[in-house]
Structure 1
């Protein structure tokens, strides 16, 4: 006699397509906000939902709908990071397009360089092999070589690209439509952020405009501020997972284990939100310049990334395999967030914080 199928144990899982939760476009607010500002975030969330998983649509959103967002440190950082978190809670692909564009705009503003129209990326990571080099060419420079980790290089209009000038790194603005720019195909096989191709870029005698002096890109205060902005995106992605857990409870009564996971997620996100809120206030108060800014960035990224990894684990345990197997948006969000979080250097960043604590214990706690 055949066995009777067992009831599934994932008590927060929905069974039918008709039971799937409606998309949630509530903004993620990092502190008090005005009704007007909240309406801006709601509209941004709606546009992000319309562009979910669609890079060309996300690029169109970035090119036309984010000009009013403030730069970090200009008095309304909480709204900027709320926008990043709100978009990420809806869709991390759109957030992955938005975040570097806003970072590039902020960098150009700090350098006193006009951004102009179009979409921007920031390609400043170092990869294996011979680094990208900049060679003086009259009053400007040309770039030649390979640059790794160039997200959407084949689809953006411009990028800020770091290159070596002798023994120092310098940042340059580059027109990605130049005939000497080639996005290397076939290297991006990621399951997370699959549509955001981040393969290498080959440059051959490409004209480049200096943005800041050698070393300025890493030494400027905004380097740490941008790193915290990335953490706001991670936080938003985890909020999206938490909302899916809450929605599941509306289709099936959660058992005690499901409630345990949901309660732990609530506490984790509360702590991460409070950390981001405090950092935004400190930044606008002028307290995150110099070494203190980078120390704050390491702390915030540690708290937020640790919370996000716990939310990923608890969402998997609470929801079970159903949403991962049958819901495109949920499965993509999980894979996207897992890859996005690898921008955090984990134990290496923890070691950096440990060194700072030993070097200056009096200001640690």
Structure 2
């Protein structure tokens, strides 16, 4: 991948996965097969975390649609491993989504019956519900919120993706899933999904995808510099992308080490994830702007791969809630012991 190699790929990328991902571009069935093949790596979160983040960054640098399919599958496999789920709950051949959006008006309940737990209602913002075999779904019970494993190909499940008409991530259809008394398996106790340290890890995994896509965008500046002698402004653009991406990469590596440290608590993981996501999202948005300024309209009108990456990343970044997430981070720092100790030292 020398011609399309993104910024500093040898320091963080996985060439084997890059080759596999290249075969899955523009092909959903191939991306689903890749997700299944990489699935066991999900259990490395919390033990060999950098191998997961590197894989996701690599996928993000090749094709964000493929990354958007693989990332939740790896997240689901990590969650199932943390819960100690067996093959009855987690069939090895399954390809998973994680459906945890809970906007106002969501009406989805899980109730215990003589046959087991049954899921009834509608879950919004579900990606690829017409392509995946299973999903981890958050639902309300009489005792509180809990996570369940749901079979999406069951006759009691239907989906509607007709409203999905985006400019980015067009192939990753998203819509609502309707459950009509679907028999599901509980995963962990009530409240476990949000309370476990691993909840924050999934957000860091998404940030690794953003980083990979931003690095690929920045790589276009270095390729342009090889084709034409860069002037001072072009060098400034390259320098800006370099320090932004280096900082984001350093933070992702630090996050991987912190995740692997079993002494890291759930609140510490949450603060870490908020910081990492904010930093990487800012880096990705700045990189989008700098590359746009540097290259002008040309690649947006004649380079389909570049245009697709710009559109896909712009939409993908909206998983970060911008100023609202920064406000949440600010509140978390007030409650953080390390923030208090820093204030005392001053």
- Find out whether 1:53 has 2:26 as its counterpart: yes
The within-5 A match list for 1:261-280 is: 261-280=237-256
Q: Quick one: distance in 2 between partners of 1:311 and 1:77?
A: 25
User: Retained in 1: the 8 A contact 2:73–2:98?
Assistant: yes
Question: How many Å separate the matches in 2 of 1:45 and 1:364?
Answer: 42
Show the counterpart of 1:35.
none
Which residue is equivalent to 2:71? 99
Tell me the SS of whatever aligns to 2:126: coil
Question: Structure 1's 63 and 357: CA in aligned 2 closer, same or farther, altered over 3 A?
Answer: closer
Deviation at 1:215, TM superposition (A): 0.8
Find the residue that maps to 1:148 and give its secondary structure. Answer: strand
- Which residue in 1 is equivalent to 2:3? 22
Q: Name the TM-score, length of structure 2 as normaliser.
A: 0.92
Change (3 A) 1:296 1:101: same
The structure-2 alpha-carbon separation of the partners of 1:67 and 1:167, relative to structure 1 and needing over 3 Å to count, comes to closer
Report the Cα distance in structure 1 between the residues aligned to 2:335 and 2:74, rounded to whole angstroms: 34
- Count of matched residue pairs: 336
Root mean square deviation, CA, Å: 2.0
Aligned to 1:245, which of 218, 221, 226? Answer: 221
Counterpart in the other structure of 1:6? none
1:201 aligns with 2:177: yes
- Structure 2 portions without partners, runs of 5+: none
Distance in 2, matches of 1:160 and 1:286, equals: 25
User: What's the secondary structure of 1:170's corresponding residue?
Assistant: strand
SS of equivalent to 1:253 = coil
Q: What is the distance in 1 between the residues matched to 2:290 and 2:217? A: 10
Whose helix fraction is larger, Structure 1's or Structure 2's? 2
3-state SS of 1:150 partner: strand
Choose 1 or 2 for highest CA Rg: 1
Distance 1:130 1:73 in 2: 32
SS of the residue aligned with 1:202? strand
Q: Secondary structure at the match of 1:134?
A: strand
Q: Deviations over 1:209-229 (max 9, x none)?
A: 100111110111100111111
Q: Which digits, 9 at most, give the CA deviation of each residue in 1:189-214, with x for residues without a partner?
A: 11111110111111111111100111
SS at match of 2:175: coil
Report deviation, 1:362.
2.1
**Structure 1 pair 285–257 and aligned structure 2 pair: CA distance change class (3 A):** same
Separation of aligned partners in 1, 2:237 and 2:53: 26
- Cα contact 1:28–1:85 (8 A) shared by 2: no
Distance 1:261 1:128 in 2: 42
Deviates more, 1:279-288 or 1:76-85: 279-288
CA shift, 1:130, in A, is: 4.0
Q: Does 1:67 align with 2:40?
A: yes
| Superposed CA offset, 1:110-164 (max 9, x none) | 1110322121110001134242111212252111111011100100011101111
Q: What is the rounded CA distance, in whole Å, between the counterparts of 2:226 and 2:142 in structure 1?
A: 61
Question: 1:348 maps to which residue?
Answer: 324
1:235–1:272 contact (8 Å) kept in structure 2: yes
TM-score normalised according to structure 1 size: 0.87
Gaps of at least 5 residues in structure 1 are 1-20, 32-37
Contact 1:141–1:210 (CA<8 Å) still a contact in 2? yes
Select the residue among 198, 204, 209 that pairs with 1:228. Answer: 204
